[in-house]
Amino acid sequence: MTSEALRKILVAGVAVAALSVVGCAKKAPEAAASDAASEATAAASDAAAAASDASMAASGAAAAASSAAGAMSAAPAAK
Protein backbone atom coordinates (compact mmCIF):
# COMPACT_ATOMS: atom_id res chain seq x y z
CA MET A 1 0.00 0.00 0.00
CA THR A 2 1.21 3.47 -0.70
CA SER A 3 1.65 6.03 2.04
CA GLU A 4 -1.18 8.03 0.46
CA ALA A 5 -3.60 5.13 0.80
CA LEU A 6 -2.50 4.51 4.38
CA ARG A 7 -2.97 8.19 5.20
CA LYS A 8 -6.50 8.13 3.80
CA ILE A 9 -7.37 5.01 5.75
CA LEU A 10 -6.01 6.71 8.88
CA VAL A 11 -8.22 9.77 8.22
CA ALA A 12 -11.24 7.50 7.83
CA GLY A 13 -10.38 5.82 11.15
CA VAL A 14 -10.10 9.19 12.87
CA ALA A 15 -13.50 10.18 11.48
CA VAL A 16 -15.04 6.98 12.85
CA ALA A 17 -13.38 7.61 16.23
CA ALA A 18 -14.79 11.16 16.23
CA LEU A 19 -18.26 9.76 15.60
CA SER A 20 -17.79 7.39 18.52
CA VAL A 21 -16.67 10.16 20.87
CA VAL A 22 -19.55 12.40 19.81
CA GLY A 23 -22.01 9.56 20.33
CA CYS A 24 -20.71 8.77 23.81
CA ALA A 25 -20.27 12.34 25.09
CA LYS A 26 -22.87 13.64 27.58
CA LYS A 27 -24.26 17.11 26.88
CA ALA A 28 -27.44 19.03 27.52
CA PRO A 29 -30.27 17.25 25.68
CA GLU A 30 -31.20 20.01 23.19
CA ALA A 31 -27.68 21.18 22.43
CA ALA A 32 -26.37 17.63 22.29
CA ALA A 33 -28.66 16.57 19.45
CA SER A 34 -27.79 19.56 17.28
CA ASP A 35 -24.06 19.39 17.99
CA ALA A 36 -23.91 15.64 17.55
CA ALA A 37 -25.79 15.80 14.26
CA SER A 38 -23.52 18.46 12.78
CA GLU A 39 -20.34 16.76 14.02
CA ALA A 40 -21.53 13.37 12.79
CA THR A 41 -22.39 14.82 9.39
CA ALA A 42 -18.96 16.42 9.08
CA ALA A 43 -17.20 13.25 10.21
CA ALA A 44 -19.26 11.09 7.87
CA SER A 45 -18.43 13.40 4.98
CA ASP A 46 -14.71 13.20 5.82
CA ALA A 47 -14.91 9.41 6.11
CA ALA A 48 -16.73 9.10 2.79
CA ALA A 49 -14.15 11.27 1.05
CA ALA A 50 -11.29 9.30 2.60
CA ALA A 51 -12.90 6.00 1.63
CA SER A 52 -13.39 7.23 -1.93
CA ASP A 53 -9.78 8.38 -2.13
CA ALA A 54 -8.54 5.08 -0.68
CA SER A 55 -10.65 3.17 -3.19
CA MET A 56 -9.23 5.18 -6.06
CA ALA A 57 -5.68 4.63 -4.76
CA ALA A 58 -6.29 0.89 -4.43
CA SER A 59 -7.72 0.78 -7.94
CA GLY A 60 -4.67 2.60 -9.28
CA ALA A 61 -2.35 0.22 -7.44
CA ALA A 62 -4.22 -2.79 -8.84
CA ALA A 63 -3.97 -1.37 -12.36
CA ALA A 64 -0.23 -0.78 -11.91
CA ALA A 65 0.26 -4.31 -10.60
CA SER A 66 -1.70 -5.73 -13.52
CA SER A 67 0.36 -3.70 -15.96
CA ALA A 68 3.60 -4.86 -14.34
CA ALA A 69 2.43 -8.49 -14.44
CA GLY A 70 1.62 -8.12 -18.13
CA ALA A 71 5.05 -6.67 -18.81
CA MET A 72 6.72 -9.51 -16.91
CA SER A 73 4.81 -12.17 -18.86
CA ALA A 74 5.70 -10.50 -22.16
CA ALA A 75 9.44 -10.36 -21.32
CA PRO A 76 11.58 -13.27 -22.55
CA ALA A 77 12.63 -15.75 -19.88
CA ALA A 78 16.26 -15.55 -18.76
CA LYS A 79 18.26 -18.70 -19.41
pLDDT digits (tens, 9 = 90+) for 36-45: 778 888 888 8
Other CB atoms within a 10 A radius of the CB of residue 12 amount to 20
Mean pLDDT confidence for 25-31: 65
pLDDT at 16: 82
Q: Give the residue with greater pLDDT, 72 vs 38.
A: 38
Distance CA 34, CA 30 (A): 7
Distance CA 12, CA 33 (A): 23
Other CB atoms within a 10 A radius of the CB of residue 42 amount to 14
